Amino acid sequence: MRFLSEINSPADLRQLKVEDLQEVADEVRQFIIDTCSRVGGHTGASLGAVELAVAMHYVFDTPRDRLVWDVGHQAYAHKILTGRRDQLHTIKQYEGLSGFLRRDESEYDTFGAGHASTSVSAALGMAVARDKKDQDFHVCALIGDSSLAGGMAMEAINQAGHLKSRLIVLLNDNEMSIAPAVGALSRYLNRIKEAQSYQWWKEEIGDALESVPGIGERLRRAAKSVKDAIAAAVLPGALVNELGFKYIGYVDGHNVPMLVAALEEAKKVTDGPVIVHALTTKGKGFPNPEKNYYAYHATGPFDPKTGLPYKSTKVSPPTYTEVFGRTMCELMESDKRIVALTAAMPDGTGVDKVLEKFPERSFDVGIAEQHAITFCAGMACEGLKPVAAIYSTFLQRAFDQVIHDVCLQDLDVTFAMDRAGIVGADGPTHHGLLDIAYLRGYPNIVLMAPKDEAEMRDMMLTAIEHPGPAAIRYPRGNGMGVDISQPPRRMEIGKAEVLGEGTEVAILAYGALVEPALGAAEKLAASGVFPTVVNARFVKPLDSELITELADSHRLIVTAEDAYLAGGFGSAVMELLEHKGLADKVTVSRMGVDDEIVPHGDPKILLAKYGLNADGIYDRVIETLNALDQRAKGPTRIKAVK
């Protein structure tokens, strides 16, 4: 590494000559490949943005100038250039670097990210604050073409044009989301690329860009004439015209000198927002001859020479996501009213299989969770049965649409919330810990969580056949390996399942916590405690008859969930007991995630940290029983086995 080993901050980068920057980018790219081949990560997304990161840190006086990255998954080069090179191998691991951006990780991470389409709003806020405080620095938002189509980004563009704030938006256009980009905006960007007049501009001006000085003026003139030409010819009412943005582009997003020249021009625009349109290739330089940018977006460890993933010999049960896709296909076969939705996560949710099999009855709406839900509501008004497969964390975006557009009108929409619970490496922006709390407060929604993949199939049928709103939450990763060959069966809504009858203690587990509860029960038996174990299945409606009986016949109820305790399943049980006047009759001990932000890392480590495994439940039962005995002034009866 001729340059990179000496670059410990962007200030070091800025000492170099423009001619050297392409080599710096090559070294950064190689560093990402070497590191991600060992530890995995958002490899392809980051490889596509290497030159953008180099050019931005060269042109802007970071951290004084503010760079705001959208999502942050593509920012590995930014991390490398901002003093985190030697920690990159810890990325996404417990106590290592975050896979996204965090203000508390670096002063160069001006805005925390993980969810898409936030950068332009945040950057506009910074630009407005700068102007109000009479300060003078640049603000540049970097956003991908798919994130630009997200509702928030569009709203921000709208306001930026209106305010005429000095703001730079660098568009990283690779025609990809995680899957190929969808939507009219994507088509619109393609039209810019295809515009004849623009090709002329590119040829005419492209070469000149590399020869300093004097580029700036020509580029600006050219950009203006191109803007006018495109606006007149192909872009009625679009971004560069009606919305008040200046347009510079398009630029080869892998040519650092060209990017530097374009960003230098953008810096000179003082009377309003400007968009620099860079064309990039996702996965640029990934060492796999098979061009599969979709697969490169994020990778596990791979062979750095061939780019091929290291194959695991372990045979694992199908993931919940796979079971969802397969079951949707079965159910859609027999009920023509069912339609499937994803918001830019076809493979992540299993809707990719449905899109293949039923292209007319399934939709990828892009990064547009809010629209997705109201779109579902509209279809439900006309008698269809939409199933929206959206990660628990991303459905947070559409909270009001779930309530106002679906639940309030009692519409028949099913929410399939993948990645519920602690997701692991993606961390705090992606944990699905809130869905119980944010959905449980509404009167008419049915909420459920399966103990395994067979029960998930039954729940899918149950939710879809239920004529109102219903939601299923299920975890990231593999199922339990149970038999799923039987057709799904309809379940009785609000009925829990008693898995083992015992005395004194009842463990009520929700969804993914059922298995650890059974593990804890086995361990407790060895200590002479024989708990009743219940698979709660539903948090709304709760099985109030069973829980009332348990409160009557047991001394302690332990609830377990992989969610925030506040407003969660355990809270629902306590509310029920209070409502029934049984709050004093039985002690309730709730297990879940307490009032703190859960970091990123291996789910096993994180679940253990919060006691959400068999050992943790075992410990809680023993501790609470002993505390109850002590309170009753009896001797400590049970010694914990370690």
Ligand X SMILES: Cc1ncc(C[n+]2csc(CCOP(=O)(O)OP(=O)(O)O)c2C)c(N)n1
Contacts to ligand X by CB under 6 A: 45, 48, 71, 73-74, 115-116, 144-147, 172, 174, 176-178, 282, 344-345, 367, 369, 394, 397
Q: Is 537 or 600 the residue whose CB approaches ligand X more closely?
A: 600
- For 68-136, the three-class secondary structure string (H helix, E strand, C coil) is EECCCCCCHHHHHHHHHHHHHHHCCCCCCCCCCECCCCCCCCCCCECCCCCHHHHHHHHHHHHHHCCCC
C-alpha span between 346 and 352 (Å, rounded): 5
Q: How far is the CB of 251 from ligand X (least distance, A)?
A: 16
Catalytic residue (choose from 130, 284, 353, 397): 397
Tokens 């079951």 label which residue?
327
Of 473, 398, 465, give the one whose Cα is nearest residue 432. Answer: 473
Q: How far is the CB of 9 from ligand X (least distance, A)?
A: 25
Q: How far is the CB of 426 from ligand X (least distance, A)?
A: 9
Q: Is 347 or 549 the residue whose CB approaches ligand X more closely?
A: 347
DSSP state of 141: E
Outline where 305-357 has alpha helix (H): 320-334, 346-349, 351-357
Angle at 469 between CA 468 and CA 470, to 5 degrees: 115
Q: How far is the CB of 408 from ligand X (least distance, A)?
A: 23
DSSP β-bridge partners for residue 447: 471, 540
Determine the residue with CB nearest ligand X. Answer: 144
Whether the Cβ atoms of residue 188 and residue 148 lie closer than 8 Å to each other: no
Q: Is 201 or 293 the residue whose CB approaches ligand X more closely?
A: 293
Tokens 């602690």 label which residue?
422
Catalytic residue (choose from 369, 453, 455, 561): 369
At residue 75, φ and ψ (nearest 5 deg) are -100, 25
Catalytic residue (choose from 29, 92, 246, 282): 282
At residue 204, φ and ψ (nearest 5 deg) are -65, -45
Neighbours of 624 (CB within 10 A): 18
Q: Is 170 or 461 the residue whose CB approaches ligand X more closely?
A: 170
Q: How far is the CB of 115 from ligand X (least distance, A)?
A: 4
Q: How far is the CB of 319 from ligand X (least distance, A)?
A: 17
SS3 183: coil
Neighbours of 5 (CB within 10 A): 10
Catalytic-residue membership of 457: no
Of 194, 187, 202, give the one whose Cα is nearest residue 248. Answer: 202
Q: How far is the CB of 599 from ligand X (least distance, A)?
A: 18
C-alpha span between 130 and 137 (Å, rounded): 7
C-alpha span between 567 and 560 (Å, rounded): 13
Whether the Cβ atoms of residue 322 and residue 350 lie closer than 8 Å to each other: yes
Q: How far is the CB of 174 from ligand X (least distance, A)?
A: 5
C-alpha span between 619 and 529 (Å, rounded): 12
Q: Is 113 or 484 the residue whose CB approaches ligand X more closely?
A: 113
Of 318, 371, 378, 322, give the one whose Cα is nearest residue 351. Answer: 322
Catalytic-residue membership of 282: yes
For residues 48, 54, 55 and 58, what is the CA-based torsion angle, rounded to 10 degrees? 170
Q: How far is the CB of 148 from ligand X (least distance, A)?
A: 7
Q: Is 44 or 616 the residue whose CB approaches ligand X more closely?
A: 44
Tokens 């309003």 label which residue?
272
Q: Is 274 or 390 the residue whose CB approaches ligand X more closely?
A: 390
Q: Is 49 or 565 the residue whose CB approaches ligand X more closely?
A: 49
Q: How far is the CB of 54 from ligand X (least distance, A)?
A: 16
Catalytic-residue membership of 264: no
CA distances to 10, 34, 43, 58, 342 from 97, in Å? 19, 17, 15, 23, 29
C-alpha span between 168 and 273 (Å, rounded): 6
Q: Is 177 or 462 the residue whose CB approaches ligand X more closely?
A: 177
Q: Is 98 or 462 the residue whose CB approaches ligand X more closely?
A: 98
Q: How far is the CB of 498 from ligand X (least distance, A)?
A: 38
In this structure, which amino acid lies at residue 589? S
Q: Is 346 or 516 the residue whose CB approaches ligand X more closely?
A: 346
CB neighbours of 311 closer than 8 A, spacing ≥ 6? none
C-alpha span between 386 and 412 (Å, rounded): 7
Tokens 């038996």 label which residue?
525
Strands 554-564 and 504-509: parallel
Tell me which residues are annotated as active site.
282, 369, 397
